[in-house]
Amino acid sequence: MRTATALLLCASALTLAAMELGKPSPALTIQGSGRPAMKLTEFRGKVVLLAFIHTTCPHCQQLTTTTLVPVAREYAPRGVQVVECAFNQGAGELVGAFAQQFQTPFRVGWTDYSTVMAYLGRSPNDQRPFFVPHLVFLDRQGNIQGDYAGESDFMKTPEPNIRKELDRLLKLPATAAVRK
What are the boundaries of each domain within the chain?
2-171
Q: How confident is the model at residue 167 (pLDDT cuts 50, 70, 90)?
A: very high
**pTM of this structure:** 0.86
Q: Which CATH superfamily is domain 2-171 in?
A: Glutaredoxin (3.40.30.10)
The edge-to-edge listing of strands for the beta sheet with 47-53 is 38-39, 29-32, 107-110, 80-86, 47-53, 134-138, 144-148
Is-contact 63 51, C-beta < 8 A?
A: yes
For the segment 28-75, what is each residue's pLDDT rounded down to a tens digit? 999 998 889 999 999 999 999 999 999 999 999 999 999 999 999 999
pLDDT of residue 1: 43
Amino acid at 50: L
